[in-house]
Every structure is written in structure tokens, then in C-alpha cells.
Amino acid sequence: MGDSSNLDLISDLPQSIIESILTRLPIRDAVRTSFLSSKFRYRWAALTHLVFDEDCVPLSNDRALFEDKLINFITRALFLHQGPIHKFQLCTSYLQSCPEIDQWILFLSRKDIKELVLELGESEWIRIPSCLFKCNKLICLELFRCELDPPPTFKGFMCLKTLNLYQVFVASDAIESLISSCPLLENLSLSYSDSLTLNIYAPNLKYLCLEGEFKDICLQNTPLLIAMSVAMYMTEDIAEHMQQSSSCNFIKLLGSVPYLEKLTGRIYFTKYLSIGDDRGRLSVTYSHLKIIELYQVSFEDMKEILVVLHLITNSPNLKELQISGSSNTLAAMEATDLDFWDKECPSPCLFERLKVVKMTEMSGVPHEMEFIKFLLERSPVLEVMSIMPCPSVMDGRLNMLIELVRFRRASARAEILFIQC
């Protein structure tokens, strides 16, 4: 048998391991380790990652009491804490705006905070206090449902690499200048901050995610962008308003992203891109673009499919293409101009790297079928073409299949998968 001396196997582990263990515990458990032994008494207080949620305090039917307890818990934990705090996360729908939050943020601004995540309840959005803008070591900031109003003296977060704003009420010029004053910004995600007009100036930006109703987006300076995902909601009058202006949305969004590798567009994205003057062909080649995913593409809108064509013919290294349709079959069935594809794209154009194509929500309308035919004819290394019809289209499926079978394939290896659903 081993020696009977009490081998305390944890207290002498390196602080980093103990901290890792404590960090993975709910904060309440971590605080309770103060009871274990004198060595442990204040170990929890040196944790640099603090994550709070409603599990910190026992459940209670009395909502006001529960809120008070939670506020008390967080305040006490912060008060007893020693040393820097690198991450502070508070996610709970049980807390609304309260004066203590301002104090917590003030406290954190003095503790070298690097990562801040704040997600509170929906009914009363908090106004982010100006002391947040003094957290000059911030690397990652995530805010949900709040009002953001940077003070005029704010010069930017010099270390900020990630910014996620979800349903944040902020003025267009405020967010524009916030973005442009964060020189190291690499990841930007803006969701549902409606009616923004954005000029994005972010020389180090690599990943961009935009969701919501934007009046106008222009990527003014994002030369290093690698991946872009846009879900564009548009009302009729915004679309009308855009038609009036002569600027070309395609160029504003995709005019200077030469290193783009992945593009994802949803809702009205292709429609948005199709708006505006497109005098003369764009001369941008997307030589790094490998994956294109476009959803809700309306194949009866000639301008939209011209956008699709434009994208794929300017991406010589495209490997994977996914298109989800959204065609109003009545209008689309009367399609004219079916030699559009060959007309717009003269013979030598081949998709030399295209391996996988997925077409979903297909209604079988003429332009959709022509597009599939077009791709099959011009993709010499294609491996898979998968087609998923729209669940509501039942009668047209056989016709779709009959047409598909006839199409010539440039690639002997190409498999056509018709996926029933």
C-alpha cells in the first residue's frame, strides 16, 4: 500500500491548473472553495475569469427578491476580488437596467478588463455608462440589447479585436467612428441595429457578420476581409429609395475585398446587390473566394441572377456553391430570355475548380433549370450536384428529373443527387 501520509494532491498543483479547474466551475462553487483550507481561502478571489448568470443564486418565486440577491451576489464577489479581471460575463434575462451595473462597469474599468460580455433582460435596455469607454485594454466586447453612446472624447479601443453588437441602439456615425477607431479590429458582428447607414473603415478586419435592416452599407476599407456573412432585410420603401440613388451596391459591398474566401448572403442579399448602376463590368477578381452560399435568390428577377453570374464568373477558384431559391412560380414560369446564361457568359468560361454545388428550395422554374444546365456544362471537375426541391412543390418533381437527366455534363465524375424531402 502507498504511504499513509495525507498526500494533498491539489493544493500544490500549479496555480494555473487550479485556476483552470475553478474557472470551469459555476462561480458559486468557486467561491465556496474558500472553505476548503487556508491555502484555498482566497484562491477563488484571484480568478481572472468571472462568469455570472441566474444560477448564482437559488431560484425564487419573488422576482424582485431574486434580482436583489443576484445583484448582491455579483457586488460581493467583485468587492472581495483581488487582482486583475480579464473576463467578465453576465448573461441573464432576470436582470434589467439597474444602477449597480454602472458601478460594476466602473469597477471593471479599473481592473484591466479584456473581455466583456453583457446580456440582460429584454424589457428595459440598459444605457451603457461612459466608463466602459475607459476600458482601454478591451480585446473582446459583446453587448446585447442596450443603448450605446460613446462620449465625444472617446478615442477608440486600441486593443479591440472582436466586437459583437446584438440589438444595440446606436447612431450610425457613432458606430462608424467606433469601428474606425479600433485599429486592430478583426471580427465584427452587427445584428438588428436597424436603419443604420454604415461606412466600414477597418483595415484589419477579417470576419464580418451583418444582420438586419440596413439603409446602406459600404465597405470603405476592409482589404483583409476573409469571410463575410450578410442577412439583409429590406422593406419596400428602402428598396425604392435605393433604386433612386445611382451608386452601385455590388461595388460598395464587394468592390474591394480581394482576399475574400467565403461569402454568405441571406434574405434579400442578392436583391440588395442587384440595385444600383452597374455601368460596365466590374474588374475585381475574387481569386481566393472558394465558398459562396446565397439564400433566397429569386430566379425570376433577371438582375438578381445577373449578380449570381457575376460573382461566380469572377471567382476562378470557386470550389463550393450553394444556392437556395425563392421563386414565385407563377411569374417565374413565364420566363423569357432563357438563353440568358449563354449570352451573358461566352464560351471559354469554365468553372475549373468547382467541385460541389447544392441547390435547395428549387421550384423547377425555367431559369433555375437553365442555371443547373449551365453549371453542369461548364464544370469539368464537378463531383457533386445536389438538388433539393421545395417541399411545397410536389407535381413538378418528375418534370425536374426528366430535364435533369438530359443535361450534358462536362465532368464524367459528376454525381447528381436529387434529394427528396
Partner 1 sequence: MADDGVNTKVEAVSKATTETIELRTEDGGVFDVDKPVAMEFLILKSFYEDEGRVFDKTSIRLPNVKQLELSKVIEYCTRALEFGAKSAAAAGDKDAERMVRQEREGFEAEFVDELSNEMLKELILAVNFLDIKEMLDFLIRSVANRIRNRSVAYVRQFFDIENDFTPQEEDQIHQENAWAFEGVDAD
Interface with partner 1 by CB under 8 A: which residues? Answer: 6-11, 13-14, 17, 20-21, 24-26, 28-29, 31-38, 40-41, 57-58, 69, 72-73, 76-77, 80, 320
Pick the closer one to partner 1 by CB: 16 or 244: 16
- In Å, how far are 81, 106, 162, 165 from 169, measured between CA atoms? 32, 21, 18, 9
Pick the closer one to partner 1 by CB: 18 or 372: 18
Pick the closer one to partner 1 by CB: 37 or 243: 37
In angstroms, rounded to a whole number, what is the distance separating the alpha carbons of residues 119 and 347?
54
Query: Nearest Cα to 89, choosing from 50, 42, 59, 55?
Result: 50
Radius of gyration of the chain (CA): 27
Query: Nearest Cα to 268, choosing from 210, 311, 318?
Result: 210
CB of 98 to partner 1, least distance (A): 17
CB of 28 to partner 1, least distance (A): 6
Which H helix or E strand runs over 273?
helix 269-274
CB of 30 to partner 1, least distance (A): 9
Q: Are strands 384-389 and 415-418 parallel, antiparallel or unpaired?
A: parallel
The alpha-helical segments, DSSP class H, found in 83-230 are 99-109, 172-180
In angstroms, rounded to a whole number, what is the distance separating the alpha carbons of residues 308 and 161?
32
Pick the closer one to partner 1 by CB: 10 or 284: 10
CB of 17 to partner 1, least distance (A): 6
Pick the closer one to partner 1 by CB: 85 or 188: 85
Query: Nearest Cα to 256, choosing from 220, 308, 227?
Result: 220
Contact status, residue 56 vs residue 89, Cβ threshold 8 Å: no
Tell me whether residue 165 is exposed, middle or buried, using C-beta atoms within 10 angstroms of its C-beta: 0 to 12, 13 to 18, 19 or more: buried
Pick the closer one to partner 1 by CB: 127 or 266: 266
CB of 13 to partner 1, least distance (A): 7
CB of 120 to partner 1, least distance (A): 21
CB of 24 to partner 1, least distance (A): 4
- What number of residues does the chain have? 421
Contacts of 234 (CB under 8 A, 6+ apart): 213, 267, 268, 271, 272
Pick the closer one to partner 1 by CB: 188 or 385: 385
In angstroms, rounded to a whole number, what is the distance separating the alpha carbons of residues 334 and 302?
13
CB of 321 to partner 1, least distance (A): 13
CB of 110 to partner 1, least distance (A): 22
CB of 52 to partner 1, least distance (A): 12
Q: From its phi and psi, is residue 226 left (phi > 0), alpha (psi between -120 and 50) or beta?
A: alpha
Straight-line distance from the first to the last Cα atom of the chain, in angstroms, rounded to the nearest whole number: 64
Pick the closer one to partner 1 by CB: 171 or 291: 291
CB of 44 to partner 1, least distance (A): 9
Pick the closer one to partner 1 by CB: 174 or 416: 416
In angstroms, rounded to a whole number, what is the distance separating the alpha carbons of residues 418 and 396?
13
Pick the closer one to partner 1 by CB: 157 or 295: 295
In angstroms, rounded to a whole number, what is the distance separating the alpha carbons of residues 162 and 185?
6
Pick the closer one to partner 1 by CB: 33 or 274: 33
The C-alpha cell of 128 is what?
451603457
